[in-house]
A and B are shown apart, each in its own frame.
Chain A
Amino acid sequence: MTGITTGFGAWNPIAWLLLFLGVVAGALFLRRFGNKQYKKNTGQTKVFLSGNEEPEASALHVRGAHLYWGFVDGLSAYYRRVRALHTGLLSDYVALFVGTLGVVLIVLVLSR
């Protein structure tokens, strides 16, 4: 009753959750074999940045506009065109609206 079938596959969140808990338990179990002999608050637990000092946390925070810079730059040809459509000019919005209406009407009138 909790799951759904899609005619092609099935999905049961309760079963998924049980499996997930099982995997988490397994991971925690494996973690128990870790080495506990390390020395706390020494160089052993510090971030290693090629021997450089670790900067302040505030200097490390990637701001919103910088994330995915590479992805957006790779698709810059697409983004240039799509962003150019969002002109902010009301007439353009109306033109797109009326244009879509025209296309829809033509397709409907031509189809059976």
Chain B
Amino acid sequence: MNALLHHAPVLLVAVPLLGAFAVPLVGKLGSGLRRFFVGLIALLTTAIAGYLAASFYAAGASPIVYVLGGRLSLPSGMVAPIRIMFELDGLSVFMMLITALAALAAVLYTSSFWKERSGATLKDSLMLLLIVGIFGMEMTGDLFNFFVFLEITSIAACSLVGFRVWNGRSQEAAFKVMTLYTLSGLFVLLAVGLLYGQYGGLNIAYLATMIGSGAALVDKIALGLLLTGLAMKAGAVPMHMWAPDAYGEAPGAASILLVANSQASLYGLFRVLFTLYGSAYSPQSLAWILIGLAVLTIIVGVTMALVQRDLKRLIAFGAVSQIGYMMLAVGVGFAAMTALQPSDFGFVALQGGLFHMINDAACIGLLFLAAGIVIRRAGTRDLQGMGGIAHDLKWTTAFFMLGAFALAGMPPLNGFASKLMIYESTFRLSPVLAIVAILASILLLAVFLRAFQAAFLGPRTEPTDVMRPVPISMLVSMGLLALVVVAFGLFPGFFVDRIVTPAAQALWSGRDAYIQAVMSGMGG
């Protein structure tokens, strides 16, 4: 194993972290250089992620452990490992790919958006910090580090939401989101403290072996705190109220990173449910909590999207409903896995749910990025005052339509492939769930048809020269996401086999491998 590959996990955090704090320095030398530098950092991060993923899959998708720190030898002869670690299994690498995609698209998009605005340097710093936090959450093998990275994402995300200090609404959104994020972070920290007090460790794999002997009351309380806190940060109804505020008020490029952030919280939830507790404590009631939250999320998200007049809030509620699909699929997978006789449809559900995460990141990202251009062009976010964008912005129109169709699950785009897997597996647990999912999907198409009709069709309204022509970097950024939408739509089998199945495997049967990868080398 070569040195670059060996150190890739820590580089993935270190490169954007150094970049984030170097941006203000580079920014002093000129805005062109700064934009080049940020783009370079994003490209480098994506390249490292891609290289790490390629070699991970080539090596048979067995967990990678990267240890920071070493061994403490006391004079009394006691030897204790003092270390923190990154641990990557199929699910972490899959999430890492989603984040890399979102990060690249966001940085590309933003490089021209903010050319003329003040504070662009800080915005670049914050975006890179948010990327650091998301990568860290997805890779860490240590529960306390998970909390630290969670707080890094919270602070960076809320600063991005409240970035436009000249706008009162964005301050309001940022304050609400920050309070809720902090609260959820504190609940997670309380759970970490409970688990530490009970078992004297913070390593996820170590804690998983300790809980393996059956769940005590403390374990249940910790699980409840972790589940609620992370579900809140993922935006599950009825704790989703922050999501439309945050997505809606954040700048266009930040919205896609916020979606990646929500998905990272969802990753944390899955990690806790499947790896930390997993077979040790998995009552059916837990699966039904997840499914219940998911059904609520789907219904409320999509119906609230239907009545929004603010374009970004409309897309934001759509994003909330998609989180519901992922939770529904994984909840069904959890129910099937923990049933007395595990059934295979659970595995398909997990595949569908995870596949939907990357599809959702691409489609919602495309919609948010296109909406950013539309709002600049129209000069308003109110759908009532828009119209006729399609006359001038051909590519943006095409990208918005592609994203909307894919998200609503129109064949042959990617959203259909993942939603089909979700429908046909949830159907086997309970037909009602599949019916709800399908109806909500149809309603989602109606939601986006309304947005499309109002914003893009109709006669021109007050034609201006803003955003005309659309900067190339924005088109490239949206083109990247559109390419993912089409490629994942036309060749779903190819991608499901290569990247989604290892991730689903990590949830379905990877708990022992995850624990073994750490515990076998405990002495060193």
Within 8 Å by CB, do A and B touch in the complex?
yes
Chain A residues packing against B (C-beta within 8 Å): 1-4, 6-9, 11-14, 16-17, 20, 56-58, 61-65, 67-68, 71-72, 75, 78-79, 82-83, 85-86, 90, 92-94, 96-97, 99-101, 104-105, 107-112
Indicate the member of A2, A79, A100 with the most B CB atoms within 10 Å: A100
Query: Is the pair A17, B242 in contact by a Cβ cutoff of 8 Å?
Result: no
Query: Is the pair B386, A7 in contact by a Cβ cutoff of 8 Å?
Result: no
Query: Is the pair A112, B283 in contact by a Cβ cutoff of 8 Å?
Result: yes
CA distance A56 to B420 in the complex (A): 43
A75: which B residues are within 8 A, CB to CB? 303
State which of B27-35, B59-67, B449-457, B511-519 sits at the interface with chain A.
B449-457
What are the 9 closest A-B residue pairs judged by CB atoms, nearest first? A64-B383, A64-B454, A61-B458, A13-B412, A111-B285, A58-B459, A105-B224, A6-B424, A111-B283
Is B330 interfacial (CB 8 A cutoff)?
no
Indicate the member of A57, A61, A93, A112 with the most B CB atoms within 10 Å: A93
Query: Is the pair A83, B494 in contact by a Cβ cutoff of 8 Å?
Result: no
CA distance A12 to B420 in the complex (A): 11
Is B304 interfacial (CB 8 A cutoff)?
yes
Query: Is the pair A97, B180 in contact by a Cβ cutoff of 8 Å?
Result: yes
Query: Is the pair B183, A90 in contact by a Cβ cutoff of 8 Å?
Result: no
Query: Is the pair A82, B300 in contact by a Cβ cutoff of 8 Å?
Result: yes
CA distance A107 to B183 in the complex (A): 21
Query: Is the pair B238, A100 in contact by a Cβ cutoff of 8 Å?
Result: yes
A20: which B residues are within 8 A, CB to CB? 412
Query: Is the pair B179, A104 in contact by a Cβ cutoff of 8 Å?
Result: no
B450: which A residues are within 8 A, CB to CB? 64, 67-68
CA distance A27 to B360 in the complex (A): 33
- Closest Cβ of chain B to A15, distance in Å, is 9
B497: nearest chain-A partner, CB-CB: A1
Is B384 interfacial (CB 8 A cutoff)?
yes
B224: nearest chain-A partner, CB-CB: A105
B420: nearest chain-A partner, CB-CB: A11
Q: A6-B421, A13-B412, A112-B283 are in contact. Are A96 and B241 (CB under 8 A)?
A: yes
A12: nearest chain-B partner, CB-CB: B493
What would be 21 A-B contacts, judged by CB atoms less than 8 Å apart? Answer: A1-B493, A1-B497, A2-B493, A4-B496, A6-B348, A11-B420, A11-B492, A13-B412, A14-B490, A56-B459, A57-B458, A58-B458, A58-B459, A61-B387, A64-B384, A64-B451, A79-B303, A96-B238, A105-B220, A109-B221, A111-B285
Query: Is the pair A93, B242 in contact by a Cβ cutoff of 8 Å?
Result: yes
Partner of A105, one of B176, B221, B231, B459: B221
Indicate the member of A57, A62, A107, A108 with the most B CB atoms within 10 Å: A108
Is B109 interfacial (CB 8 A cutoff)?
no
The proximity string for B residues 438-452 relative to A, scoring 1 for CB distances below 8 Å and 0 otherwise, is: 000000001000110
CA distance A64 to B456 in the complex (A): 11
Q: A93-B241, A101-B225 are in contact. Are A6 and B425 (CB under 8 A)?
A: yes
Is B53 interfacial (CB 8 A cutoff)?
no
A90: which B residues are within 8 A, CB to CB? 175-176, 179-180
A12: which B residues are within 8 A, CB to CB? 493
Is B228 interfacial (CB 8 A cutoff)?
yes
Query: Is the pair B227, A104 in contact by a Cβ cutoff of 8 Å?
Result: yes
B492: which A residues are within 8 A, CB to CB? 2-4, 11, 13
A8: which B residues are within 8 A, CB to CB? 345, 348, 424-425, 427-428
- Closest Cβ of chain B to A92, distance in Å, is 8
A3: which B residues are within 8 A, CB to CB? 492-493
A91: nearest chain-B partner, CB-CB: B179
- Beyond contacts A6-B352, A20-B412, A63-B383: 16 other A-B pairs, Cβ-Cβ < 8 A, are A1-B493, A1-B494, A4-B421, A4-B493, A8-B427, A61-B387, A61-B459, A64-B382, A64-B454, A85-B238, A93-B180, A93-B241, A97-B232, A97-B239, A104-B224, A108-B285
The proximity string for B residues 261-288 relative to A, scoring 1 for CB distances below 8 Å and 0 otherwise, is: 0000000000000000000000111100
CA distance A58 to B462 in the complex (A): 12
- Closest Cβ of chain B to A22, distance in Å, is 14
A93: which B residues are within 8 A, CB to CB? 176, 180, 239, 241-242
Query: Is the pair B454, A82 in contact by a Cβ cutoff of 8 Å?
Result: no
Query: Is the pair A108, B220 in contact by a Cβ cutoff of 8 Å?
Result: yes
Is B223 interfacial (CB 8 A cutoff)?
yes
B225: which A residues are within 8 A, CB to CB? 101, 105
Query: Is the pair A9, B420 in contact by a Cβ cutoff of 8 Å?
Result: yes
B307: which A residues are within 8 A, CB to CB? 72, 79, 83
B492: nearest chain-A partner, CB-CB: A4
B283: nearest chain-A partner, CB-CB: A111
Query: Is the pair A86, B304 in contact by a Cβ cutoff of 8 Å?
Result: yes
CA distance A90 to B274 in the complex (A): 32
B489: nearest chain-A partner, CB-CB: A13
A1: nearest chain-B partner, CB-CB: B493
The proximity string for B residues 231-248 relative to A, scoring 1 for CB distances below 8 Å and 0 otherwise, is: 110000011011000000
CA distance A38 to B286 in the complex (A): 67
A59: nearest chain-B partner, CB-CB: B459
Indicate the member of B180, B224, B227, B454 with the most A CB atoms within 10 Å: B224
Indicate the member of A4, A67, A83 with the most B CB atoms within 10 Å: A4
